[in-house]
Structure 1
Amino acid sequence: MGLKRGVAGIVGFAFSIALAHAGDAEPSYCETHAADSVSSYLGGLIRLCGWSVGLSDSPTPVETPAVPPPPPPPQTQVFIVFFASGDMDLNDPAKQTVSEAVKAAMDGGFAKIHLVGNTDTAEEDAYVLSLARAQVVRDQMQLYGLTAATFDTVGKAASEPKIPTPPGTQENLNRRVLIVLEK
């Protein structure tokens, strides 16, 4: 009971000091600063006496647990090799593209290689031809030194055209192999 009376007396004393000086400043100053003065005075007195009642000059920062950032999306890089109609041989521009893909795979640390062969709607034996194109590109990549990667080689025939066309239509952009490098 004595502690409560002592604290009540101190609070009363602090308010009386604030009220005694209320006439010294404009009312807006007193309204905004009286509570600060009382809080500072009480906080200092409590620390001086060694009491612990939860008052301090500054609030104790509350640490929030760190949320880890989401994992980065898989990094991919795509190259496209084009073919002549009905052909599965690599011409010079196609070999250059394969060479660039091999360099990117080696330099970028890509470990998975997806090869997707495609045909246009006018080519015969479309599935066989699309798979053979993907295999030719895989063989060329290995010939250029890419042996540590995991290859996934598929043929899609004309099922995923770059340019939709009616059946029996030749389209240069549909005769291709997609080289998808993935980490």
Structure 2
Amino acid sequence: MPRERIVSPESQGPEEEGASLALRPKRLDEVIGQHDLREKLTIAIQAARQRKEPLEHLLFHGPPGLGKTTLAHVVAAEMGAGIKTTSGPALTRPADLVGILTNLQRGDVLFIDEVHRLGPVVEEFLYPAMEDFRIDITVDRGSFARTINVPLQPFTLIGATTRAGFLSAPLRERFGIFHHFT
């Protein structure tokens, strides 16, 4: 009886998807390629652990399919941290970020895919969160408006983009490690 071979771009079900996830690296020493970045991250992660601080913010940019998302998950695992994932297009106003940021635990990783698609208002809302681990929320309007300063747990923001040139200079400058995937 001849064997039937199925070749299809379609997923063959949860077993195949589970196998694909199982094959992804979970630790830095399992990552193939990106040697310079792995070396840089190993040193940065060791230093952050010794200081008992979160890792500095990271920006990964390059063509699709080179492992930016996978590496974000690896970094979180290496730091022993949780990871929350979202995308730039999903964050259309500052209120979209409030719940995410206030629910992060100390040392967690916030991964924003397509970070270049954040709007200017959302970008500006992120600045104090990235620099000082706080956000300012305006309550009420007009002469009754007041600003409430909300402290956040220290966290690491990892942004991924295929178009680094689309990020504003002020946002780009807030990332401590900037790496181009090739």
Structure showing greater Rg: 1
Same fold per superposition (TM over 0.5): no
Higher relative contact order (CA 8 A, sep 6+): 2
Q: Which has a greater percent of strand?
A: 2
TM-score range, shorter chain: under 0.3
| TM-score, normalised with respect to structure 1 | 0.25
